[in-house]
């Protein structure tokens, strides 16, 4: 996958001679490339494999839109000429005559991005940057910038989910850890049941709960909190994503917290209060510091899982709840822009590895427990 | 941890607020799962509590099994509704899900147990590195694993085949087996292996006669984890499977995206029941394993 994200060799197998000649072109001296480049391009379009050319065209369109139609029109003209056996004397004039865009240097500059076997364009695309004519990195046009915003949103949602899970999970883990084993084993079922239930089932359940005519809105209307027209839109937006993801990831927070709290001796709190600390003080100074390993383990686990989440945001999130995972899936399945897919994936993987390393440092990877 | 009798009123208030908060969180965790069960028995093609269902005494007209009959492929007139398509897709999906799940569980359990046995030897070189690699499919986001596998399997012509899907699920499920079996091996007395071998048992015989009976609870709960992982998996199936490898999660995904119908809730209810069964089994096994180890320690 990492190779795929920088791979640009496909197009090089289609236009090898053109690119060879292209590299000799001195951009300072001539405005347009020399005759040899036009000649090589002509020949490669005339005798190249049609399917391979088609694939290359898709790639060319990523760097500048308009390539596809330009090449298609040109190669039609070329094929016609070849059929009639009228090879032109001046290839440059012929191509410019076939389509005057060949006289536009901006297309030729864009070709410069493709002459090498490796490219970093997908990575730049993944953070809304692209190459300009001199191969400098610049911002994408305003209406094509989506990824930076999505990255930020993904991080934001993950952080929120982690915080919510911590707030909701801490008291519950505390209760479970301090109750006698008989009761806590019983209550543990409430935590483990969602953990074992299919992700899709939970997501569906949240859609049923949160939709406009759903259970929660129904109860609120019935209680008279809302009137019938004032039903809140809670699903297919960011709120829905947050609620559903918090519930889905909450067990991952409670379980590590629970296993840490279980072994904290209860006598510590009593001792602190005996020494004159108020309950709040004793909790803050004595109990909380001892739970930090659990909190960091749970927090990292939830954060790492949330950042790569795809199913729930895609189904519950609607249009503005889309996270980076949705884009990866979109490019893999729909646009078939696999270079960009791989680049987005590689960046996400980079993030993960950092957190994974942190997790290993703090908790140790061998300590992962299930159930 | 009841409150001491000398607690002040403020402490009492805090304590009850804390209990209330915990109750709310528990409710938050299970309410959605419970809410879908009655709705799946509704007559109405919309996923809501109808007035008839809330009426008291219960109105038998409002309840029905029509969506369950739809799910098992019964498309007779009283079952079919104009908004809900009827097909055998759910049953095909169930068969495929069990097929893929069982085969990949079997492979993953065998591989995972062997890996765990090797990793818990005291002299295993590069142990942390191997462990991290083995566990990585659990930590790396599924979407990345799926994309990577798609590129890799496309090169060796395994996409859109059962083999490809099963292999991918094996890769995903193995870490769960490794973790659970490693956990059971923590209390395992390696001297027993030596004893068996000094009495003349070959390694294979040692494994089946001595090691396996003792770590069996760990192996089974690992296998159950592996099964639920494969059974519940949708991302990889979405990318790597064609229409021939339709599974329950894939069908649910398609259902939620296109025509959201109570049939999905029927399947969801069945899956909740399945997860309750699995959860109980794992819990019983865990207790049994603890008991076994308790006896050993004495």
Model confidence over B27-77: pLDDT tens digits?
A: 888 888 888 888 888 777 777 776 666 666 667 777 777 778 777 777 776
Its domain, for residue A264, covers: 147-367
Establish if B239 touches chain A: CB-CB under 8 angstroms: yes
pLDDT over 90 for what percent of chain A? 5
How far is residue A223's CA from residue B194's CA, in Å, rounded to a whole number? 70
Domain match, B61 and B119 both: no
Contacts of A151 in chain B (CB under 8 A): none
Q: Which of A51-60, B16-25, B145-154, B273-282 is least confident? A: A51-60
Say whether pLDDT at B170 is over 90. yes
Could you tell me the residue range of the domain that residue B10 belongs to? Answer: 1-32
Q: Of B232, B252, B282, which has the smallest distance from its Cβ to A204's Cβ?
A: B252
In a domain, A173, yes or no: yes
Domain identity same for A231 and A340? yes
A307 assigned to some structural domain: yes
CATH of the domain at A171: 1.10.3720.10
**Burial of residue B231 (number of CB atoms within 10 Å: 0-12, 13-18, 19+):** buried
Show which of A117, A136, A158 is a domain's final residue: A117
Is the residue at A137 inside a domain? no
One domain, residues B131 and B79 = no
- Whether B32 sits inside 8 A of A189 (CB atoms) is no
Statement to judge: residues A162 and A240 lie in one domain? yes
Collect all residues of chain B within an 8 Å Cβ-Cβ radius of residue A207: 47, 256, 260
Shared domain for B169 and B240, answered yes or no, is yes
Q: Which pLDDT score, from 0 to 100, does residue A4 have? A: 59
Q: A188 and A108 share a domain?
A: no
pLDDT beyond 90 at B108: yes
Q: Are residues B16 and B135 part of one domain?
A: no
A28 band by pLDDT with thresholds 50, 70 and 90: low
Distance, in Å, from the CA atom of A39 to the CA atom of A47, rounded to the nearest integer, reads: 12
Q: Tell me, yes or no, whether B7 and B62 share the same domain.
A: no
In this complex, do B182 and A172 lie within 8 Å of one another by their Cβ atoms?
no
Average the pLDDT over B276-288 and give the result.
Answer: 84
The verdict on residue A133 lying in a domain is no
Which pTM value belongs to this model?
0.78
> Given pLDDT bands bounded at 50, 70 and 90, which one contains residue B113?
very high
Please indicate, yes or no, whether residues A112 and A151 belong to a single structural domain of this protein: no
Q: Which residue shows structure tokens 């864009």?
A: A110
Report how far residue B128's alpha carbon sits from residue B125's, in angstroms, rounded to the nearest whole number.
9
Which stretch of A117-121, B116-120, B211-215 has the lowest confidence by average pLDDT? A117-121
* Residue, of A234 and B275, whose pLDDT is higher: B275
Measure B139 CA to nearest chain A CA, in Å: 7
A344 with A217, same domain: the answer is: yes
CA distance A15 to chain B (A): 23
Shared domain check, B268 and B204: yes
The answer to whether residues A170 and A241 belong to one domain is: yes
What are the pLDDT digits (tens) for B5-15? Answer: 777 888 888 88
- How open is the CA angle B5-B10-B13, to the nearest 5 degrees? 85
Query: Which chain B positions have a beta carbon within 8 Å of A309's beta carbon?
Result: 141
- Position A281 pLDDT exceeds 90: no
Whether residue A190 contacts residue B29, with contact meaning beta carbons closer than 8 Å, is answered with yes
Mutation to test the A interface, candidates B144, B172, B274, B289, most A Cβ within 10 Å: B144
In this structure, are B54 and B191 located in the same domain?
no
Partner-chain residue, chosen from A193, A308, A371, that has the shortest CB–CB distance to B142: A308
Q: Which residues of A touch B283 (CB under 8 A)?
A: 192, 371
Q: What is the mean pLDDT of residues A272-282?
A: 81
Which residues of chain B from 92 to 151 reach within 8 Å of chain A, CB to CB?
A: 128, 131-132, 135, 138-144, 146-148, 150-151
Interface test with B, best of A208, A243, A251, A300 (most B CBs within 10 A): A208
Distance CA A342, CA B152 (A): 12
Residue A138 falls inside a structural domain: no
Q: Distance between CA B194 and CA B214 in Å, rounded? A: 15
Q: What is the CATH number of the domain that holds B259?
A: 1.10.3720.10
| Highest averaged pLDDT of the listed ranges A1-10, A118-127, B227-236 | B227-236
pLDDT, position B297? 41
Structure ipTM? 0.81
Query: Average pLDDT for residues A341-355, to the nearest whole number?
Result: 82
Are B189 and B171 contained in the same domain? Answer: yes
Q: Which residues contact A226 (CB under 8 A, 6 or more apart)?
A: A217, A220, A232
What average pLDDT score do residues A149-168 get?
89
Number of A–B residue contacts, CB under 8 Å? 190
What was the pLDDT predicted at B31?
86
Residues A125-154, mean pLDDT to the nearest whole number: 70
For residue B16, the Cα-to-chain-centroid distance in whole angstroms is 35
Whether residues A336 and A236 share a domain: the answer is yes
Number of domains in chain B: 3
Backbone angles phi, psi at A29, to 5 degrees: -80, -55
Rounded to the nearest integer, the mean pLDDT of chain B is 82
- Looking from the CA of B220 toward its CB, the CA atoms found within 13 Å total 18
A253 and A291: one domain?
Answer: yes
Considering its fold, how many domains does chain A have in total? Answer: 2
Domain membership of residue A55 (yes or no) is: yes
CA distance B209 to chain A (A): 27
Q: Does A5 fall in a domain?
A: no
Mean of pLDDT values over B194-200: 88
B227 at the A interface (CB within 8 A)?
A: no
For residues B131 and A28, which has the higher predicted lDDT (pLDDT)? B131
Nearest to B36 among A205, A266, A304 (CB): A205
Chain A nearest-CA residue for B266: A201
Q: How far is B108 from chain A (nearest CA, A)?
A: 17
Residues B97, B45, single domain; the answer is no
Q: Per the CB < 8 Å rule, is B279 touching A193?
A: yes
Q: Enumerate the H helices of chain A as residue ranges.
A: 2-6, 9-14, 16-24, 35-47, 50-63, 67-83, 91-98, 105-111, 121-126, 147-178, 181-196, 199-210, 215-223, 238-262, 267-274, 279-282, 288-307, 311-316, 324-330, 338-362
What does the pLDDT look like over A183-230, one tens digit per residue?
888 888 888 888 888 888 888 888 888 887 777 887 888 787 777 777
Closest-CA distance, A365 to chain B, in angstroms, reads 7
Chain A contact set for B278 (CB, 8 A)? 196
Domain check: are A192 and A104 in the same one?
A: no
**Cα nearest neighbour of A204 on chain B:** B256
Q: How close does chain B come to A72, measured CA to CA in Å? A: 29
A50: burial class by Cβ within 10 Å (0-12, 13-18, 19+)?
A: exposed
Single residue among A99, A117, A135 that ends a domain in this structure: A117
């Amino acid at each position: 996958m990492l190779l795929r994200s920088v791979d640009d060799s496909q197009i090089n197998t289609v236009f090898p001679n053109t690119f060879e000649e292209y590299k000799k072109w001195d951009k300072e001296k001539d405005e347009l490339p020399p005759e040899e480049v036009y000649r090589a391009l002509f020949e490669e379009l005339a005798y190249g494999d049609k399917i391979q050319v088609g694939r290359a065209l898709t790639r060319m369109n990523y760097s500048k839109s308009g390539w596809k139609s330009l090449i298609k029109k040109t190669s039609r003209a070329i094929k016609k000429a070849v059929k009639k056996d009228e090879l032109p004397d001046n290839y440059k004039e012929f191509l410019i005559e076939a389509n005057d865009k060949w006289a536009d240097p901006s297309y030729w500059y864009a070709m410069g991005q493709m002459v090498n076997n490796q490219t970093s364009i997908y990575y730049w695309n993944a953070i809304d940057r692209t190459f300009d004519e001199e191969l400098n990195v610049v911002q994408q046009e305003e209406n094509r910038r989506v990824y930076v915003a999505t990255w930020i949103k993904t991080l934001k949602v993950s952080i929120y989910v982690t915080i919510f899970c911590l707030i909701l999970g801490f008291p519950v883990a505390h209760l479970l850890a301090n109750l006698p084993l008989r009761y806590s084993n019983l209550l543990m079922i409430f935590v483990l049941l969602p953990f074992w239930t299919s992700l899709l089932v939970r997501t569906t359940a949240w859609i049923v709960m949160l939709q406009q005519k759903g259970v929660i809105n129904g109860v609120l209307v019935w209680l008279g909190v809302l009137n019938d027209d004032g039903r809140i839109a809670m699903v297919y937006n960011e709120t829905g994503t947050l609620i559903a993801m918090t519930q889905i990831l909450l067990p991952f927070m409670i379980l590590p917290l629970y296993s840490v709290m279980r072994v904290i001796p209860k006598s510590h709190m009593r001792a602190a209060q005996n020494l004159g600390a108020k309950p709040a003080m004793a909790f803050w100074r004595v109990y909380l510091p001892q739970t930090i390993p659990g909190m960091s383990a749970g927090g990292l686990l939830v954060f790492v899982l949330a950042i790569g989440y795809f199913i729930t945001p895609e189904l519950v999130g609607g249009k503005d709840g889309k996270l980076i995972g949705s884009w990866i899936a979109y490019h893999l399945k729909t646009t078939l822009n696999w270079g960009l897919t791989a680049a987005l994936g590689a960046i996400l993987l980079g993030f993960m590895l950092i957190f994974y390393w942190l997790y290993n440092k703090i908790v140790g990877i061998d300590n992962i427990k299930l159930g | 941890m009841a409150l001491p009798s000398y607690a002040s009123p403020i402490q009492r208030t805090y304590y009850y607020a804390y209990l209330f908060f915990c109750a709310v969180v528990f409710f938050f965790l299970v309410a959605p799962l419970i809410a879908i069960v009655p709705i799946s028995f509704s007559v109405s093609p919309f996923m809501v509590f109808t007035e008839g269902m809330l009426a008291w005494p219960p109105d038998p007209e409002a309840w029905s099994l029509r969506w369950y009959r739809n799910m098992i492929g019964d498309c007779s007139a009283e079952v079919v509704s104009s908004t809900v398509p009827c097909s055998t897709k759910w049953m095909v999906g169930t068969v495929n899900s069990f097929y893929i799940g069982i085969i990949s569980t079997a492979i993953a359990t065998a591989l995972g147990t062997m890996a765990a046995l090797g990793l818990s030897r005291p002299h295993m070189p590069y142990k942390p590195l191997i462990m991290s690699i083995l566990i990585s499919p659990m930590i790396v986001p599924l979407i990345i694993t799926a994309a990577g596998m798609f590129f890799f399997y496309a090169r060796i012509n395994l996409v859109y085949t059962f083999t490809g899907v099963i292999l991918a699920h094996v890769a995903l499920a193995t870490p769960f087996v490794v973790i659970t079996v490693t956990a059971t091996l923590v209390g395992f007395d390696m001297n027993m292996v030596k004893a068996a071998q000094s009495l003349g048992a070959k390694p294979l015989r040692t494994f089946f006669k001595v090691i396996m009976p003792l770590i069996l609870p760990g192996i089974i709960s690992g296998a159950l984890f592996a099964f639920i992982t494969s059974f519940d998996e949708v991302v990889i199936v979405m990318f790597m499977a064609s229409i021939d490898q339709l599974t329950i999660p894939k069908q649910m995904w398609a259902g939620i995206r296109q025509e959201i119908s109570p049939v999905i809730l029927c399947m969801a209810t069945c899956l909740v029941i399945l997860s309750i069964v699995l959860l109980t089994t794992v819990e019983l096994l865990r207790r049994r394993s603890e008991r076994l180890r308790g006896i050993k320690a004495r």
